[in-house]
Amino acid sequence: MSRGQALIVDDSATARIMLSRLLEKANFASRGVASAEDALRELQTGEPPSVIFLDHLLPGMNGFEALRAIKRNPQTADIPVFMYTSQNAERYLEEARALGAEGVISKQTNRDQLMQCLEKAAAGHDSASMDLSSMAEDIHVVYHKGLEEQGVRRLTGRLSTLEVAYEDMHDELRKTRLDLKVQESENRLLIEQKLRHSRWIDGGLFMGLVLCTVLLWGQVDSVNQAAENVQSQALILTNVIGHILEMVNER
């Protein structure tokens, strides 16, 4: 059973997938949107989430503006919000908390440590709810521990990003290959149809040529017969005229 529902607001599909998978491993359900405007619409029409992870840099309305709008709305003011940024998270912590955020999470934080604190936050509570204030404190502690391991933390985050990007690229490549196979099959079918059509046309032209040849041959034969008849009639007429002249001379 899901331990909670998270709303992820980030214009990066890779970042949404990474956090979603992290939450999924801790048995948290999640849904994602790509802009603050979409998030506000989702909060008005959809099921209220247990927690919101809000990117700082967004197209259109930025993360702080969205946070301010969420906290001003009585229907959403009590939903815990964590700023989720690829920038220096400590830089935004004071302002984010002043606007009502539970804390700030860096996208480069070690995902194993972050998952441990999520699981710890949910393990000690009833399955129908979760103590988000405890979860916020644990995440904040993990973040500061991550700052002490800056090099390893960044490397792990980069590797996680590359892993997700590779999987996305692999999925896109597989989809492209399937699309190419479908296109190749459609092209082959179209070529076969055109070849059959061409064969029918060639066959029709050949039959038409044969028919024209037969008709022409018949016409030539008829002309030859007519010429022979005319020649015969001319010969008969010549003979008749010759006999008439002989009779006239004898008299």
Query: What is the residue extent of each domain of the chain?
Result: 5-148
Contact criterion met (CB below 8 Å) for 6 and 53: yes
Task: Identify the pLDDT of residue 127.
Answer: 39
Task: Identify the pLDDT of residue 121.
Answer: 40
Encode the chain (251 residues) as per-residue pLDDT tens digits.
667 888 999 998 888 888 888 788 777 789 999 999 999 999 998 888 988 999 988 989 999 999 999 999 999 998 888 888 766 656 668 888 889 988 777 776 656 655 654 554 444 434 333 444 445 444 554 445 544 544 555 555 555 566 666 666 766 777 888 888 888 888 888 888 888 888 888 888 888 888 888 788 877 777 778 777 778 887 887 877 877 777 777 76
Task: Identify the pLDDT of residue 116.
Answer: 55
Task: Select the CATH number that applies to the domain covering 5-148 from these four: 3.40.50.2300, 3.20.20.80, 3.50.50.60, 1.10.10.10.
Answer: 3.40.50.2300
